[in-house]
């Protein structure tokens, strides 16, 4: 699943800007809103209007071009179900009997696959 991640806190830290300083550059926005946005990585919602105002305030403070890419990242998230195998305790399986394939060679069932570094799965030929 993909999720938008808010990077305002990291941007402020990287540029030595405090939320207070940004809030002073945005008198039309409540200071509490700036502090909340600077504290959260995944705020409930950020409207395009708020995003535009934050970008305008950062441009005033830094004198640099600021884009939505500087403040938002799209990251892949995995559910606990997707990653539960990574922390599973498989030591109890050491005492189990091997699976009975019923006389069928499991290596002849299906095709081998290759997983690339980016996570794509491709059937091997």
Residue 68 lies in a domain: yes
What's the pLDDT tens digit per position in 5-56? Answer: 889 999 999 999 999 999 999 999 999 999 999 987 666 678 899 999 999 9
Contact 2, 75 (CB under 8 A): yes
111 class by beta-carbon count within 10 Å (0-12 exposed, 13-18 middle, 19+ buried): exposed
Confirm whether 10 is domain-assigned.
yes
**In Å, how far are 31, 115, 120, 125 from 110, measured between CA atoms?**
60, 16, 18, 11
Can you give the residue range of the structural domain that contains 40? 2-76
Q: Which two tokens stand for residue 52?
A: 């535009």
Backbone φ, ψ for residue 68 (5° rounding): -55, -30
- In a domain? residue 69: yes
Rg (the chain; Cα; Å) = 24
- Taking a C-beta distance cutoff of 8 angstroms, is the pair 98, 105 a contact? no
For residue 54, what is the domain's CATH number?
1.10.260
User: For 73-122, what is each residue's pLDDT tens digit?
Assistant: 888 777 767 677 777 777 777 778 878 888 888 778 777 777 777 777 77
The pTM for the full model equals 0.60
Nearest to 37 by CA among 51, 57, 56: 51
Number of domains in the chain: 1
Instruction: Supply the pLDDT for residue 35.
Output: 92
Give domain status of residue 26, yes or no: yes
Distance (Å, rounded) from C-alpha 6 to C-alpha 76? Answer: 14
């Amino acid at each position: 699943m993909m999720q938008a991640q808010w990077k305002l806190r990291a941007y402020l830290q990287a540029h030595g800007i405090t939320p207070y300083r940004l809030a002073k550059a945005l008198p039309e926005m409540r200071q509490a809103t700036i502090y909340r946005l600077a504290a959260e990585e995944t705020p409930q919602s950020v409207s395009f209007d708020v995003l535009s105002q934050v970008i305008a305030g950062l441009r005033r403070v830094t004198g640099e071009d600021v884009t939505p890419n500087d403040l938002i990242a799209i990251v892949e998230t995995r559910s606990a179900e997707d990653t539960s195998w990574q922390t599973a305790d498989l030591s109890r399986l050491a005492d189990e009997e091997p699976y009975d394939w019923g006389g069928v060679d499991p290596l002849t069932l299906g095709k081998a696959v290759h997983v690339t570094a980016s996570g794509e799965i491709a059937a091997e030929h």
